[in-house]
């Protein structure tokens, strides 16, 4: 008989000695998964949600501040595509609610170039790809078809304005 530790006691199994190590590993994996799922459910209730979307400065961060949620800004201080992907995976492992505020439809109109849909060079596209099927994903934006193409956005969200924009004049 193989004892698999008290917390995994329920997963201990009677196995022939030769397969003990393999069975223990399988039991441990199953237990980890089970605990992981429980942890994720618990985390989704306790950990702050995170916000994703295009345009960190004008959309993602203000939306998160308004709701007291977090963004990648609160976790990753040296950005790269790899760090971005690792961050999303971590948020999923932790079972956090992930709020998607979507593309910057206005920015796409005013932008100089088409936003790339290639996952390897567009962080938001990569995030969306990684989040496919994630149960704690929530979409906060609308998307509509217009004569000018695709439009939409987050109803009720405004870009920061007012005195907050007026900073002291720059002194080189």
Partner 1 sequence: MSNVSFTELDPFNRAFFETYLSKMRFLEEDWGFAKHVDPSYYGSLLLYTKGRFAIMFSFELRDNRVYLRMQQVDTAIPDVFPPEAFPDVYSRIQDPLFELFLRLPLREEYQQFFSKAERKRLEQLIELAVVQRDVEAARAVLEKEAEFHAYILRKYQPQILQVVEAASAESGEA
φ, ψ of residue 108 in degrees (nearest 5): -65, -35
> According to the binding rule CB under 8 A, does residue 169 interact with partner 1?
yes
Q: Which is nearer to partner 1, 71 or 136 (CB)?
A: 71
User: Which of 56, 64, 98, 130 forms a contact with partner 1 (CB under 8 A)?
Assistant: 56
> According to the binding rule CB under 8 A, does residue 144 interact with partner 1?
yes
Q: Which is nearer to partner 1, 84 or 95 (CB)?
A: 84
Nearby residues of 165 by Cβ (< 8 Å), 6 or more positions away: none
> According to the binding rule CB under 8 A, does residue 14 interact with partner 1?
no
Q: Which is nearer to partner 1, 41 or 121 (CB)?
A: 121
Of 151, 56, 54, 143, nearest to 109 by C-alpha is 151
- Shortest approach of partner 1 to residue 76 CB, angstroms? 9
Instruction: Provide the sign of the torsion angle of the four alpha carbons 90, 42, 4, 15, taken in this order.
Output: negative
> Which residues inside 74-93 make contact with partner 1, applying CB under 8 A?
77, 79-81, 84
Q: Which is nearer to partner 1, 24 or 84 (CB)?
A: 84
Q: Which is nearer to partner 1, 133 or 155 (CB)?
A: 155
Name the segment binding partner 1 (CB under 8 A); options: 19-27, 37-45, 67-75, 92-100: 67-75
> According to the binding rule CB under 8 A, does residue 94 interact with partner 1?
no
The owner of tokens 């979409």 is 139
State the CB neighbour count (10 A cutoff) for residue 35.
12
> According to the binding rule CB under 8 A, does residue 130 interact with partner 1?
no
Contact 151, 105 (CB under 8 A): yes
Of 92, 93, 96, nearest to 35 by C-alpha is 93
User: Which of 57, 67, 89, 93 forms a contact with partner 1 (CB under 8 A)?
Assistant: 57
Distances (CA, A) of 26 to 6, 103, 129: 16, 42, 30
């Amino acid at each position: 008989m193989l004892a698999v530790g008290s917390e995994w006691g329920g997963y201990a199994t009677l196995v022939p000695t030769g397969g003990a190590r393999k069975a223990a590993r399988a039991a441990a994996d199953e237990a980890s998964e089970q605990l992981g799922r429980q942890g994720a459910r618990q985390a989704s209730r306790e950990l702050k949600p995170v916000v994703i979307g295009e345009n960190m400065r004008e959309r993602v961060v203000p939306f998160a501040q308004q709701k007291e949620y977090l963004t990648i800004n609160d976790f990753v201080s040296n950005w790269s595509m790899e760090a971005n992907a690792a961050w999303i995976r971590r948020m999923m492992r932790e079972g956090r609610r992930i709020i998607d505020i979507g593309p910057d439809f206005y920015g796409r109109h005013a932008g100089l170039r088409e936003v790339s849909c290639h996952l390897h060079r567009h962080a938001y596209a990569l995030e969306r790809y990684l989040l496919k099927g994630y149960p704690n994903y929530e979409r906060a934006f609308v998307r509509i078809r217009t004569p000018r193409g695709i439009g939409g956005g987050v109803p009720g969200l405004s870009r920061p304005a007012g005195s907050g924009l007026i900073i002291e004049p720059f002194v080189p």
